[in-house]
Amino acid sequence: MEKITDHVYLVRIPIPYDFREVNCYLIEGKNGFTVVDTGDCTEEAMAVWVKTLGTSIPIEKVVITHAHADHFGLAGWFQQNYQASVWMSVKGYEELQRARSLFVDQKYRSSLGSFIEQHGMVVQTGQEDRFHRFEAYQFKPDVLFQENQELLLGDSIYQTIPTPGHSPDHVAFYQAQDQLLLVGDHILQGINPIVISEKEGDNPLQGYLSALKRLREIKVKYTLPGHGQQIVDLDARIEKLLGHYEKRWAQTLQGIQEKGSTAFEVSQFVYGSNLSHERASSALIQTITNLVYLESLGHVKMEKDHHDGLYYFFKKAVNSY
């Protein structure tokens, strides 16, 4: 465990994809520790927790920032092995149930494939799904909390702050006395989190940017993210993120051809075409997110062709976003 404050500790749990690790946090209290996020449901992750906690560290509760398996995957394991109560947001439980409904014969059947095919990318089939383990989803939270609700984590009061975008249910936890913000995957230090569009009609970037601006209004000394290193200067990191989006929006508009372009064609213009299928899919999803947001501002127009493919057309440039 890495000590952050007198009562908050960082535990890095291995995950078999992307970042290779997820940051989980232990908050000490008189009734035991609160675990914030758990890692995914793998034997390697369980072994790290067992080694860290042993038999002498009592776990009072588990609190989840958002319904992605690398953050909740061991919730049921903590219920069974540490008799911990699992706390999840109302929206998070809705997302959990939605994802659970997509399992058929313990295999995850994502609806994302047909969505990205509409946007011009050919989906590869037959690949192993490393992100959705059936056993990770087989739990029921003990307590559901609302956005903007105050929660007792350890012996301190934390406010739940809605921070949608990376997932629609994402929440951060803020403790005013120590000016400590558990920010999950909403903001990371080293990379820009993907803001995920999963179906037509989503405009997640709108909520994501609003949440960034809200976080700028609070006083923060410790910003603890879900992956990577601690964020040293939250205001500077937010400004850099906002500047990054302005550059990406300009590139996105430049990538739209006069005859119209699919989101996949735009993503190849912005991110390049020499990407693995996994990275190309992520680039496409972020490009769709940017195009939908730009459409909401009146800078592009989306149209369906007679094969139900989706094309984007340039409408107007702007000097400021």
**What is 2-248's CATH topology?**
Metallo-beta-lactamase; Chain A (3.60.15)
Q: CA-to-CA distance for 161 and 281, rounded, in angstroms?
A: 29
Query: 31 vs 8, 28, 55, 152, 155, CA distance in Å?
Result: 15, 8, 15, 11, 8
Structure tokens at 247: 């550059």
- Count of CB atoms within 10 A of residue 24's CB? 24
Q: Calculate what percentage of the chain has a pLDDT beyond 70.
A: 97
Of the two residues 318 and 291, the one the predictor is more confident about is 291
CB 61 within 8 Å of CB 38: no
Q: Identify the band that residue 320 occupies on the pLDDT scale cut at 50, 70 and 90.
A: low
Question: Which residue in 161, 165, 189 sits closest to 176, CA to CA?
Answer: 161
Residue 69 has a pLDDT of 96
Does the pLDDT at position 277 exceed 80?
Answer: yes
CB 284 within 8 Å of CB 113: no
Q: At what angle do helices 263-271 and 277-296 cross, to 10 degrees?
A: 110
pTM, full prediction: 0.94
Does the pLDDT at position 270 exceed 70?
Answer: yes
Structure tokens at 309: 């493919």
**pLDDT tens track for 17-51:** 878 999 999 999 999 999 999 999 999 999 999 99
- Which residue carries 């993907």 as its tokens? 194
Q: CA-to-CA distance for 220 and 176, rounded, in angstroms?
A: 8
**What value does the mean pLDDT take over residues 219-235?**
97
Q: Identify the band that residue 125 occupies on the pLDDT scale cut at 50, 70 and 90.
A: low
**pLDDT tens track for 161-206:** 999 999 999 999 999 999 999 999 999 998 999 998 888 888 999 9
